[in-house]
Amino acid sequence: MDILYYDAFKKIGLNESDLKPTIAPLYGFTGDSLMPIGMIELMVNVGTYPRVSAKMTQFLVVDCPSTFNAVLGRPTLRELRA
């Protein structure tokens, strides 16, 4: 599961009209639930030239405070060899 925080979503100039609807809530370690605003597919690039990995990645966009812009899940990290 890949997460994009709403603040970062807005900073890169995306609009809520770009989101696909989602109905599945996210559950935290404490059992708290959070409803994502939607889903969006974005290109993720990791590395520096000439060793760059790229992958189209589906993110759940959530509106909650975070010091991060996004969180990449293990499957994405494995595919990117990051």
* Whole-number percent of the chain with pLDDT over 90: 88
- 29: pLDDT strictly greater than 90: no
All residues at 6 or more sequence positions from 80 whose CB lies less than 8 Å from its CB, including other chains: 44, 46, 53, 55, 72
Q: What is the pLDDT of residues 42-61, one digit of tens each?
A: 999 999 999 999 999 999 99
Tell me the DSSP string of 26-46. Answer: EE-TTS-EE--SEEEEEEEEE
Number of domains in the chain: 1
Residues in the chain: 82
Mean pLDDT taken over the chain: 94
Residue 76, domain extent:
2-80
